Structure formats: structure tokens, C-alpha cells
């Protein structure tokens, strides 16, 4: 009987050792890392005549644009062969502050650019002002010819707002309401502090 128990015990120990050295100590299989999906490249052109204006900060705008070969061909048909090369590209910046969409009477300034450019930083120097930009060409016989007009943008303020939300008063107003600077002990906001110590 003892021999049978010893053989069973030896068998159990052998099975455990076999399992341990066969499965437990076996190095884990290395799984290949997942390959991230390829990100599509942004196209250099979209085939659309447009100019987009963005606000950089209270003093600067940024514009980028695209003019298609079809637009150039239309310009040549309308103003004569060689008119594209004879004209000069120009950005016209309208200040629409206080008179939105009044392009006829709005003050403007112009920036001469090159045909190689497709974007430009524009120093407007006017916080809280509204602008719109035309990309056009100066023709020697026809003057300024607009090709595309941008969206309208407004520059932000360059200082904190003077408008105070009643639900979020400034810190100074909170302290004034708490009694700072008033009463028998200026500068103490809690009435408990006015009680004598024991």
C-alpha cells in the first residue's frame, strides 16, 4: 500500500515537473506589433479657386489661396492673350469694421505679391477689427481685377474684456462684498476674526 502511494506521489510530482518545464518555462511567443494604418497625404492642390483668411493674433492675419489653370485661361480669354503675364498679382485688404459688406466705401490697402506665392502673412495692426481680402491682378489697361474673395474675419482684442459677467465677477469685487476695507477692522473679511481670543 505504501508502495502504491509512493508511486502515485512520484507520478504526480513528475506530472507537475513535466508541465512546469514544458509550458510554464516556455518563452511567450512574440506577437508582431500592429502596423499603424497609413495616413493619407494632403493634396497640394484641391482644384478650386479660393482664398481663405485666418486670424493669427490681434495684429496679424494669414491667408492662403489657390488659382486653377482654368481661372487663368478664363482671365486670358476675357482680357486678351498674354494678359496674365502682363498683370501683377495683388492682395487687397478691406477694413469692414463698423460697415460689414460695404466694399465700395470700405477703406483698403494693397500688397504686391509674386505669382510663386500661395500664402501670405498680413500685418493689419488693428485689434477688434473686421477684414476681408481680395486676391486679384493689376492689369495695365483695366486696373485691379478681383479673382477671388476671402471669408470675413475679425481680430480679437489685445486686452482683457471690460464686459463683466455677473455670474463671474472679478476677485476684487468678491473681496469688496466680503467687507474688506470697511468696518472696524479693515482688511479682515471674516466676522469671527473680530471676536476676542480666549
Confirm whether pTM is higher than 0.75. Answer: no
User: Into how many domains does the chain fold?
Assistant: 1
4 in any annotated domain: no
Burial of 60 (0-12, 13-18, 19+ CB in 10 A): middle
Per-residue pLDDT of the chain (198 residues; tens, 9 = 90+): 777 777 788 788 777 777 776 765 556 677 888 888 888 888 888 889 999 999 999 999 999 999 999 999 999 999 999 999 999 999 999 999 988 777 788 899 999 999 999 999 999 999 999 999 999 999 999 999 999 999 999 999 988 877 777 777 777 666 665 555 555 555 555 566 556 666
170 in any annotated domain: no
Residue with cell 483695366: 142
56 in any annotated domain: yes
Give the C-alpha separation, 133 to 118, whole Å. Answer: 14
64 in any annotated domain: yes
114 in any annotated domain: yes
79 in any annotated domain: yes
195 in any annotated domain: no
101: domain range? Answer: 50-154
Comparing CA positions, the residue from 147, 135, 134 lying closest to residue 78 is 147
102 in any annotated domain: yes
Amino acid at each position: 500500500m505504501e508502495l502504491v502511494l509512493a508511486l502515485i506521489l512520484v507520478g504526480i510530482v513528475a506530472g507537475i515537473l513535466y508541465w512546469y518545464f514544458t509550458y510554464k518555462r516556455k518563452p511567450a511567443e512574440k506577437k508582431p506589433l500592429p502596423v499603424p494604418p497609413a495616413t493619407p497625404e494632403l493634396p497640394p492642390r484641391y482644384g478650386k479657386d479660393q482664398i481663405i483668411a485666418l486670424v493669427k493674433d490681434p495684429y496679424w492675419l494669414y491667408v492662403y489661396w489657390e488659382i486653377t489653370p482654368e481661372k487663368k485661361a478664363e482671365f486670358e480669354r476675357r482680357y486678351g492673350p498674354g494678359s496674365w503675364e502682363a498683370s501683377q498679382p495683388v492682395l487687397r485688404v478691406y477694413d469692414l469694421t463698423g460697415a460689414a459688406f460695404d466694399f465700395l466705401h470700405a477703406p483698403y490697402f494693397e500688397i504686391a505679391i509674386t505669382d510663386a506665392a500661395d500664402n501670405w502673412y498680413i500685418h493689419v495692426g488693428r485689434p477688434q477689427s473686421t477684414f476681408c481680402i481680395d486676391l486679384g491682378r493689376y492689369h495695365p489697361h483695366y486696373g485691379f481685377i478681383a479673382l477671388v474673395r476671402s471669408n470675413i474675419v475679425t481680430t480679437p482684442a489685445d486686452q482683457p474684456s471690460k464686459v463683466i459677467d455677473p455670474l463671474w465677477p472679478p476677485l476684487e469685487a468678491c473681496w469688496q462684498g466680503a467687507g474688506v476695507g470697511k468696518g472696524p477692522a479693515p482688511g479682515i473679511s471674516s466676522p469671527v476674526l473680530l471676536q476676542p481670543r480666549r
